[in-house]
Structure 1
C-alpha cells in the first residue's frame, strides 16, 4: 500500500464520504435521514467526515455556524471521535458548547430535532464566540490533522 501523508489520507477519506452522501437520495430538510446517512458511512470515513465538518464550520464561521448549519446534530459523536483520536482539548470545547445551545439538556433524538434548525440568540452567539477563541488558540497545542492522521495511519 502506498504511503500517504496525513493530509492526503484525510482528504481521500473525506472525499469518499462526501461523495457517498451526495449519491444518496435522502430528505435533507429533516435531521433523521441525514444523520442516518452519515451513520451508514464506514468507521474511518464517518470519523473523518464529522471531524472535518466541525473544523471547517468552526474555522469559517465559529460555533454559531456549526450549530446553525445543522452540523450540531453530530456534536455528541464529534466529542467521542475527538476523544478517540486524543484531541481532548477540542473535545472539551465542543462539550462546553452543548449547554449553551441546549440549556435544558435534551438527549438523543430530542436533542437532534431541537438543534437541527436552531436559531441562536445574541447571548448564545456571544457565549459561543468565547469558545471560538479557545478553539482557534488550540492550533499550536493540538493539531487535528496530525492527531486524526496519526490515528488513521494506525488503523491502516
Structure 2
C-alpha cells in the first residue's frame, strides 16, 4: 500500500492496526451471575425505597446488554513527527502531558496517553502487534513518560470481571 505524499513533519514513523477496545469472552455462568447481581441490587433498592437507584440499575443493565453486542472496530494508529493519530482522532504532542505503556502479555498491551483535553483525559490505544520498545524509544524524545504507572484500578476491574 502506497502512503500518501506528505510533508516531512507528517511522515509516518510507526503504524499499526489496533482494536477499538478489548471484548472479553463471557460464558453462560457470567451472564447468570450478572443477572443475579443486577436482580439483587434492584431488590435491595426496592427494599430500601430507593426507586431512583432501582431505575438506574435497570437502565445500566439495559445499556450494557445493548453495547455488549457491539464488535470492536479496527483503527489505524499512526505516530508522526506532529503527534499520534488513532482512527480519526489526532492528538498533537503539545496536547499530551505524559505517556506510559502497560505491557503484560497476553492480556494487557496498551499505550496510555494523558492529554490536556478535559473531555478526552486519558486515551488508551491497544498495541496489538506493535513493538512497545521502539514505540517507547520514539515517544521519550517527544513527551515525558509517566514512570511506574501501570494499569488503573478501573481497567483492572473491567478486565477481571470481563465488563
Fold shared, TM-score > 0.5 on shorter chain: no
In the superposition, the TM-score normalised over structure 1's length comes to: 0.28
More strand by share: 2
Point out the structure with max Rg over C-alpha: 2
Q: Which has the higher contact order (CA 8 A, sep 6+)?
A: 1
